[in-house]
Amino acid sequence: MQYNQFLSRIRSDIQNRVGPDVRVSLHRTLKNNSHYLDGLTILPAGESISPTIYLNTYYQDFREGMPLDDIIRDILKLYEQFPRLQLASPEQFPDFEKARSHIAYRLINFASNRLFLSHCPHIPKLDLAVTFFLLIEACDPDKEMTISITWEHMKAWGISEQLLYETAARNTPLLYPCRCISLEQMIAELHVQETGGSGSPEPPLWENRSPLPMYVLTNQKRLNGAACILYDHVLEEFARQAGGDFFILPSSIHETILLPCRKTMETDVLNAMVREINDTEVSPPDWLSDHVYRYGAETGQITMD
C-alpha cells in the first residue's frame, strides 16, 4: 500500500468507526525546519478543536508489519486519552489574561524556518529565533498539546512582542524547569529507560561527578530544552561552577551541551563535531544549528564562534 493510500485508508476506517456525527480529516502541518507532517484530526460535533495525531511514523510501523487494525486502535486510544480542550483559536480566547499563564517559548533556527516565522511573532537571537506557544494542559503529562502563537493571536490580544516575550520568560522556567547534568549521567539514564531498569535517584541541578567536562542542559520534560539557555541566571551559574567561559553546542531543539573552555580547544573542530552529530544523529525536525556558541563569564553574553 502506497503512502497516500495508507492515509486515505486510515481516515476512512476511523470515520466508519466514529460515525457520521464526527468529522475526520487529514491535513499537512508545517513543523520545525520546514519539515511537514501528515496529521489526522477527529472532531466531534459542537467542538472546534481536536489534537492532531501524526501518521508518518504509523506508516513506517505498517511497512514493518504492524496490522492496520492495531494502528487504528492505537490512534483511537490516543484520541480518547486527550481531554476536551478549552483553548484553541484566537476566537476562543480573545482575552489575553485567560491565555497569559499558558504562554511559553522555544528556540528554533532562523534561516530554516522563514516561512513559519512569517506567520508568527518572534525574537531573533544569534542565528536562532525565539518563538512562542500556548501549552494546553492534558491529564497525562506525557501527552501535552501546544499551539503556536501567530499574528492572529497578537491582533486579538492587542499586545506587543515585548510583553509576549516577558510573559513567556516568566512562565517557561516554571512550566519547564531547567536541568543540567553530566553527559555521563544522561547516558546512564537513557540506558535505564531503554532497558526498563529502575532509575537512579534524581540528581541535583548541577551534577558534577563526570570526569568528562561535558554537561547536558535541558528541561525536566526534555522537550524544547534548548530554550533553557534563555533562562535567567542559568548560564551565569554554570560559568561560576565551570570557573569561566564555556562553549554551548546545539545538540538539538531539546537540549544543548555545555563544555567548559580549555586552551587546547579549537572552535573549528567543535563546529565540525556539531555538524557531524547533526548529520548522523539528529532528526531534521529536531535540528537547531551547526554553529558553536560561547558564553563569556565576564560579559554575561552569548556569542557565535
CA 42 to mean position of chain CA atoms: 23
pLDDT at 258 over 90: yes
Mind listing the pLDDT tens digit for each residue in 14-62?
999 988 888 899 988 888 777 788 989 888 876 666 778 889 889 989 9
In whole angstroms, give the CA distance from residue 215 to residue 128: 21
Angle at 24 between CA 1 and CA 90, to 5 degrees: 130
Given this model, what pLDDT does residue 82 score?
A: 64
β-partners of residue 41 are 25
pTM assigned to the model:
0.76
Residue 139 has pLDDT above 70, yes or no: no
Alpha helices in the chain (DSSP H): 3-18, 56-63, 68-81, 96-99, 114-117, 151-157, 161-175, 183-195, 234-242, 267-280
Distance CA 136, CA 272 (A): 38
Contact in structure between 48 and 89 (CB atoms under 8 Å): yes
What pLDDT sits at residue 135? 87
- Separation between Cα atoms, residue 6 and residue 27, nearest integer Å: 14
Question: CB under 8 Å to 230, separation ≥6 — which residues?
Answer: 105, 107, 125, 130, 169, 172
Region of poorest pLDDT, from 95-99, 165-169, 190-194, 277-281 = 190-194
- Interatomic CA distance for residues 96 and 50, integer angstroms: 22
- The pLDDT of 151-178, averaged and rounded, is 95
Instruction: For residues 114 and 34, give the distance between their C-alpha atoms in angstroms, rounded to a whole number.
Output: 8
